[in-house]
Amino acid sequence: MRELTSPTMVREIIRTHGFHVRKSLGQNFLLDANIIERIVQQANLTEQDLVFEIGPGLGVLTRRLAKDAGKVIAVELDNHLLPILAETLADYPNAEVVHGDALKMDFDRLAEERTEGTFGPQGKGYKLVANLPYYITTPILMHLITQGFHLDVLVVMMQREVAERLQALPGTKEYGSLSIAVQYYTIPEIVLKVPKTVFYPAPDVESAVIRLTRRSEPPVQVTSEEGFFRVVRAAFGQRRKTLLNSLTGSGLASKEIWQKVLAEANIDPGRRGETLSLEEFATLANTFMQAKL
């Protein structure tokens, strides 16, 4: 079969299958072989690797992944794409398509089942490479990094604005609870900026590829992860307010308790939440958890 990166070929496949591109499912198909090459390179795949893909679409990235990896499992929600994928992946026996919603997928269980335990909780870690459906970028990312899946590295394309939030540092306008969650579990690095013109149809926003390398240990010690993230969300609840007012407004505790906690944690209550580092958030949350006991 000819390469799937030619716009004529893509249009032909779509037409012969009577397929309708669904913008509501974030369907923007990649058309640039060079970009695909650069995305795949970031994952350093070998024949020993299991790699997941979310949303294979027409299978253009899937085919390239299957050339380097031992096995590819691609999770696609749109059942109208299944007959197309059966055709475009026919020559790639190591690429398997699973029909389902990536948001609900237990990737560890899937890895374990489809590799007889070589990968997953009792076996080796695996990788994920995807051009994500942008309408659910954040929930998919949160699902992938907070569930304890044995994902060693994720190379994912997303809206550039979201990618910038993931690697944002304290004191910048992009820094928020999403930056903290991602930086707690992974080391994020934007590796490629991608223009709208390499997709069919072109999305409304610019894109970027980010590599997220899972940390073996969290960068800060917290007494409770749930408590830590609750305090982080409370601090960012009202961005234009001071830390003290934002924390109080969250309803987690009274103003008096927060005043005491901030004093004990040695953090100025007049600061804004977005200036606190990961370490300071850990100190704040740990002090709060202790005050609550």
What are the start-end ranges of the H helices in 115-251?
137-146, 160-166, 177-185, 225-236, 243-249
Q: Is 237 in the site for ligand SAM (CB under 6 A)?
A: no
Cβ closest to ligand SAM, residue 103 vs residue 252: 103
Q: Is 95 in the site for ligand SAM (CB under 6 A)?
A: no
Q: Is 89 in the site for ligand SAM (CB under 6 A)?
A: no
- Which is nearest to 80 in space by CA: 54, 57, 103? 57
Q: Is 30 in the site for ligand SAM (CB under 6 A)?
A: yes
* Least Cβ distance, residue 141 to ligand SAM (angstroms): 12
Q: Is 133 in the site for ligand SAM (CB under 6 A)?
A: yes
* Least Cβ distance, residue 199 to ligand SAM (angstroms): 7
b/e burial code for range 104-141 (CB count within 10 A of at least 16 → b): ebebbebbbeebeebbbeebeebbbbbbbbbebbbebb
What is the three-class DSSP state of 289? helix
- Concatenated DSSP letters of 52-77: EEE--TTSHHHHHHHHHSSEEEEEE-
| Main-chain dihedrals φ then ψ at residue 139, nearest 5 degrees | -60, -35
The DSSP 8-state label assigned to residue 124 in this structure reads B
> Is 28 annotated to bind ligand?
yes
Contact 209, 167 (CB under 8 A): no
Q: How many binding residues for ligand SAM (CB under 6 A)?
A: 23
Q: Is 64 in the site for ligand SAM (CB under 6 A)?
A: no
> Is 37 annotated to bind ligand?
no
Of the residues 55, 120, 237, 273, which one makes contact with ligand SAM according to CB under 6 A:
55
| Main-chain dihedrals φ then ψ at residue 200, nearest 5 degrees | -125, 120
> Is 55 annotated to bind ligand?
yes
- Which is nearest to 272 in space by CA: 139, 170, 155, 194? 170
Q: Is 102 in the site for ligand SAM (CB under 6 A)?
A: yes
Q: Is 131 in the site for ligand SAM (CB under 6 A)?
A: yes
* Least Cβ distance, residue 176 to ligand SAM (angstroms): 24
Q: Is 75 in the site for ligand SAM (CB under 6 A)?
A: yes
Binding site for ligand SAM (CB under 6 A): 25-30, 54-57, 60-61, 75-78, 81, 101-103, 131, 133, 136
Residue ranges of the annotated binding site for S-adenosyl-L-methionine are 28, 30, 55, 76, 101, 131
